[in-house]
Amino acid sequence: MKYVFVTGGVLSGLGKGITASSVGRLLKSRGLKVTAIKIDPYLNIDAGTMNPFEHGEVFVLEDGGEVDLDLGNYERFLDVNLTSNHNITTGKVYRAVIEKERMGEYLGKTVQIIPHITNEIKNEIRGVAEATGADVCIVELGGTVGDIESMPFLEAVRQMNTELGRGENCLFMHTTLVPVLGTVGEQKTKPTQHSVKELRSIGIQPDIIVARAKQALEYSIKRKISLFCDVPLEAVISAPDAKSIYEVPLILDEQGLTDFMIKRLGIEGGSEDLRDWKKLLERILHPSRTVNIACVGKYTHLADSYISHLEAFHHSGAEKDTKVDLCFVDSEIIQEHGVTEELEEADGILIPGGFGNRGILGKMLAAKYARENRVPFLGICLGFQISTIEIARDVIGLETAHSTEFDPETCDPVVDLLPEQREIKKKGATMRLGGQPVVVTEGSKAYDLYGKTLIMERHRHRYEVNPKYIERLEDAGWKFTGKSPDGLRMEIAELQGHPYFVASQFHPEFKSRPGKPSPLHLGLVNAAIERKFGASS
């Protein structure tokens, strides 16, 4: 097993996750089996309770793990399904060590950061990597060098380098910032020098430096970084701003990074195969047309809150030679001022998942606008429930229809906890998470898109459509064309007589991949193209 450790310096948000994902894609293009691990130094056990405004999207894995959004990038770039064990947090590590201490596994010894915490970190990294049977494991260390909370993880990987044969099985890639200062636009290397100095003081010498900058690094700047940071010139990799994240692997590969890594790790790789990736990028960068999709939510000030939807539309747009411009519309603004200009100009409308009562009425107004004006519409998770409640209110006439999540005393709980869920909730397990089977009705739009009657999709929700109202909803034209195998949980709904008004309780965006777009997002893009350019387009 070979390991590539990706660290960061200077400041956060430099793109370590995309760098790690791109490195994995490049190694995979040479015929190697690659897996990836994300280390997050926060004390949370997982990302499930984190605010999307602060941390971005919570990505859900097939096994139900709620993890950092970088694992979504890993899955998309590597086309693999990861597990919750691939996200290691300080909370997980300390919990495991404390549980072992309580069980007496340390035989009365004083439990310390070194060796007990670092040993646990090493064991978790090795265990996850080896279980996959991969040739190479990419390990991204969150945070920046110098952060107090990152120190145990850096010490652990330093030890791994020694234990696995210094320089033989571990490669360290350090991402830094090369800012531009002054009116002449001079690229400054000092932040990189100080960051590498900090890393070397810990005992880690980077093998590769990936330098982020607005523009490609000047040759003299590369030479200076090479000299001051003691890395070969060919290992100083320029990472300028890219037009698309899917361009990053090609930018890195063009500078010889893949060849350098394979040689440095002493592994044999096949010939490069990035043909499909280059075709994807060409379709993303040079589409023949554009459609506008309005995303109506409450986390609209941070695009990372909906990153999987963004990527699902990139994948879907590439399939249709179409650019999808995603416009974020705050549901509270709709709630206060009514339908906005962005909504009226949209070729399609998306209401994504979310939690909490804020902006709910604005989302209902958006769903109603799409329904009445025959605008292509896709509702995901909460969007599925919102569209169901809106139809119950405005089509069936149940004026008090609501979800008991937002109105526990509603007379018409169209969305509610099922009886067995109430019992589960009493025990503290409140979420339905991960991959679950869905039975799709033949002849439906969903069946046309998926092409099969049994699918697996990922879930993250508590409340369900109340079975007591299903008959009345279907009589109103809101047909449930996807259900759980036992028929109790409604999974997909379609509005009859509408060009494309579809919603799902699950999150199809989490399984969207380059070349394998989410079927429901692809359906929305198709419908938006037809609305804007005509059915023959």
Residue 203 in contact with residue 161, Cβ under 8 Å? no
| CA–CA distance, 375 with 402 (Å, rounded to integer) | 24
> Does residue 424 register a pLDDT over 80?
no
Please report, as a single letter, which amino acid is at residue 466.
N
Domain-terminating residue out of 278, 303, 334? 278
> How many residues appear in the chain?
537
pLDDT of residue 174: 97
Q: In the chain, pLDDT over 70 holds for what percent of residues?
A: 97
Show Cβ contacts of residue 526 under 8 Å, excluding neighbours closer than 6 positions.
320, 500
44, two tokens: 């949370």
pLDDT of residue 304: 80
Give the model confidence (pLDDT) of 208-218 as tens digits.
999 999 999 99
Segment 252-257 mean pLDDT: 96
Clarify whether 507 is annotated catalytic: yes
Q: Give yes or no: residues 272 and 305 share one domain.
A: no
> Does residue 428 register a pLDDT over 50?
no
pTM, rounded to two decimals: 0.94
Q: Give yes or no: residues 50 and 169 share one domain.
A: yes
pLDDT tier at 300 (50, 70, 90 boundaries)? Answer: low
Q: Give yes or no: residues 229 and 372 share one domain.
A: no
Segment 323-333 mean pLDDT: 94
| CA–CA distance, 55 with 321 (Å, rounded to integer) | 32
Any domain includes 471: yes
> Does residue 457 register a pLDDT over 70?
yes
> Does residue 429 register a pLDDT over 60?
no
CATH number, position 365 = 3.40.50.880
Residue 455 in contact with residue 441, Cβ under 8 Å? no
Q: Could you say which DSSP state residue 466 is in?
A: -
Domain span including residue 344: 288-533
Any domain includes 303: yes
User: Residues 174, 314, 507, 521: which is the catalytic one?
Assistant: 507
Q: How many angstroms separate the Cα of 63 from the Cα of each of 17, 355, 460?
A: 21, 21, 11
Q: Could you say which DSSP state residue 485 is in?
A: T
CATH number, position 98 = 3.40.50.300
Residue 395's SS3 state is: helix
Residue 257 in contact with residue 233, Cβ under 8 Å? no
Q: At what angle do helices 151-163 and 190-202 cross, to 10 degrees?
A: 70
Segment 117-137 mean pLDDT: 97
Show the CA angle centred on residue 357, arms to residues 353 and 362, nearest 5°: 75
> Does residue 459 register a pLDDT over 70?
yes
Q: Give yes or no: residues 234 and 343 share one domain.
A: no
pLDDT of residue 427: 47
Side by side, the strands of the sheet bearing 377-380 are 322-330, 289-297, 348-351, 377-380, 501-504, 490-495, 478-483, 432-440, 454-461
Q: Give yes or no: residues 442 and 417 share one domain.
A: yes
Any domain includes 335: yes
Show Cβ contacts of residue 443 under 8 Å, excluding neighbours closer than 6 positions.
none
Q: Give yes or no: residues 48 and 126 share one domain.
A: yes
Please report, as a single letter, which amino acid is at residue 99.
E
Q: Could you say which DSSP state residue 385 is in?
A: H
Any domain includes 283: no
Residue 472: Cβ within 10 Å count: 16
Q: Could you say which DSSP state residue 469 is in?
A: G
| CA–CA distance, 317 with 291 (Å, rounded to integer) | 9
Give the model confidence (pLDDT) of 491-508 as tens digits.
999 999 999 999 999 999
Residue 113: Cβ within 10 Å count: 13
| CA–CA distance, 90 with 77 (Å, rounded to integer) | 26
Q: Give yes or no: residues 252 and 292 share one domain.
A: no
Higher pLDDT, 272 or 421: 272
Q: Give yes or no: residues 246 and 309 share one domain.
A: no
| CA–CA distance, 527 with 533 (Å, rounded to integer) | 10
| CA–CA distance, 519 with 500 (Å, rounded to integer) | 13
pLDDT of residue 447: 98
What SS3 string covers 259-306? HHHHHHHCCCCCCCCCHHHHHHHHHHHCCCEEEEEEEEECCCCCHHHH
pLDDT of residue 53: 66
pLDDT of residue 359: 87
pLDDT of residue 298: 79
Any domain includes 510: yes
Give the model confidence (pLDDT) of 377-389 as tens digits.
999 999 999 999 9
User: Residues 57, 140, 342, 509: which is the catalytic one?
Assistant: 509
Residue 88's SS3 state is: strand
Q: Give yes or no: residues 136 and 7 share one domain.
A: yes
For the chain, percent helix, then strand, then coil, each to nearest 5? Answer: 45, 25, 35
Q: Which of 262, 214, 204 is nearest to 238 (CA)?
A: 214
Domain-terminating residue out of 231, 246, 278? 278
> Does residue 473 register a pLDDT over 80?
yes
Residue 35 in contact with residue 134, Cβ under 8 Å? yes
Instruction: Write phi, then psi, for 420 (nearest 5 degrees).
Output: -70, -30
Give the model confidence (pLDDT) of 63-112 as tens digits.
999 999 999 999 999 999 999 999 999 999 999 999 999 999 998 899 99
pLDDT of residue 302: 67
- Number of domains forming the structure of the chain: 2
Segment 398-425 mean pLDDT: 87
Q: How many angstroms separate the Cα of 228 from the Cα of each of 189, 208, 517?
A: 9, 13, 45
Domain-terminating residue out of 222, 256, 278? 278
User: Residues 86, 381, 461, 494: which is the catalytic one?
Assistant: 381
pLDDT of residue 198: 95
Q: Give yes or no: residues 273 and 299 share one domain.
A: no
| CA–CA distance, 397 with 391 (Å, rounded to integer) | 8
Clarify whether 381 is annotated catalytic: yes
> Does residue 426 register a pLDDT over 60?
no
pLDDT of residue 354: 85
Residue 478 in contact with residue 472, Cβ under 8 Å? no
Give the model confidence (pLDDT) of 7-27 as tens digits.
998 887 788 999 999 999 999
Residue 49 in contact with residue 96, Cβ under 8 Å? no
| CA–CA distance, 495 with 499 (Å, rounded to integer) | 9
Q: Give yes or no: residues 261 and 295 share one domain.
A: no
Show Cβ contacts of residue 372 under 8 Å, excluding neighbours closer than 6 positions.
none
Sign of CA dihedral 369, 370, 371, 373: positive
Chain position carrying tokens 């670092």: 118
| CA–CA distance, 97 with 282 (Å, rounded to integer) | 49
Any domain includes 171: yes
Instruction: Write phi, then psi, for 303 (nearest 5 degrees).
Output: -60, -30
| CA–CA distance, 78 with 76 (Å, rounded to integer) | 6
Mean pLDDT of the chain: 93
Q: Give yes or no: residues 145 and 267 share one domain.
A: yes
Any domain includes 304: yes
Any domain includes 156: yes
Instruction: Please confirm whether the linkage preceding 514 is cis (ω < 30° from 0).
Output: no
